[in-house]
Amino acid sequence: MTPLDTLAPDQRAVLELVMRQGRSYGELSELLAIPERDVRARADAGLRALAGDPAADVDTGRIADWLLGQQPDDEAERTRAAVARSAGARAWASAAAERLGELGGTIPEVPAGDEPPPPPVAPRPRPLRDDAPRRAAAPAAPRSSRLGGAILIGIVAVLVAATLLYLFVIRDDAEEPAAPAAAQPTATATPEASANDIVLQAVGENSQAAGLMRLIQVEGGGVQFAIAAQNVPPNQGREVYAVWLTRDGGKPRRLGFAQAQVGEEGILTTGGPQKGDEDEFPQWFATYDKVLITRETKASATKPGPAVLEGTLPGAAG
């Protein structure tokens, strides 16, 4: 397990999309349907989790913006000069840059200073349960955060533990994962698909992709969905995966984009609905025919791109 595997999924998603796809905070704000300040906060929290606690008076948010290429040239030069003047800032920036190097992409060189920098404070150990996805939060941020005001990362974690352990991994001795904390919506993990599950099948004869879409009722009577899949082709270039609902003769409806890239391991996880769609989502689910997982290159896509997975919704039988 690498240090990146200990990050909360939303923090890792932001860092990966910036470093591997060259996305800006503004693009990610539109992609994830959250304010740009929240994207920036996730980037800062992710780097703090990777690089450890900085010395006093070190502006990690500003340094994170600089390392991730999110500042205009004049501001980036001012940040570089500020880092050069501060031993503590140089130490933290060097540790953060080293961790970002695991993601590839271009990282500015941390300047040397006259004063030897103190060693950075090592990240605090984060206990991990054997039966749960490995994630952790930055010291200054919640363990899991709200994406688009709708889906909690904890729900996706429960789905992943339930579907990947029981449906995709041969483990006769696997135990059910624990439910999220009381402040989060809860879900029950079972080995079999339930009436609230939509099996996602590969599109194309040569594809081995398979997945599950699970509906989860939350406190207050709302309904959310979570999706997990395996053997999904890794994202290429600026490509991301999107979730769509479709029906014959009707306009397709995009439910959102996957919050994290699919890497060589081929695992896709995402959830929703997006902020503002919470009330209408149950009606859409009941009246549309299919759910699609597609490849997209534009955040403004209005119709599905090439499909990788598809599932039949209950409304298709009506």
List pLDDT tens digits, range 49-67.
Answer: 989 888 888 999 999 999 9
- pLDDT at residue 114, as a whole number: 53
In this predicted structure, the answer to whether residue 186 has a pLDDT above a threshold of 60 is no
Mean per-residue pLDDT over the chain, rounded: 74
| Domains of the chain in sequence order | 3-103 (no CATH), 146-317 (2.60.40)
Q: Global pTM?
A: 0.50
In this predicted structure, the answer to whether residue 19 has a pLDDT above a threshold of 70 is yes
pLDDT band at 104 (very low <50, low <70, confident <90, very high): confident
In this predicted structure, the answer to whether residue 252 has a pLDDT above a threshold of 90 is yes
pLDDT band at 185 (very low <50, low <70, confident <90, very high): very low
Residue type, 67: L
In this predicted structure, the answer to whether residue 119 has a pLDDT above a threshold of 60 is no
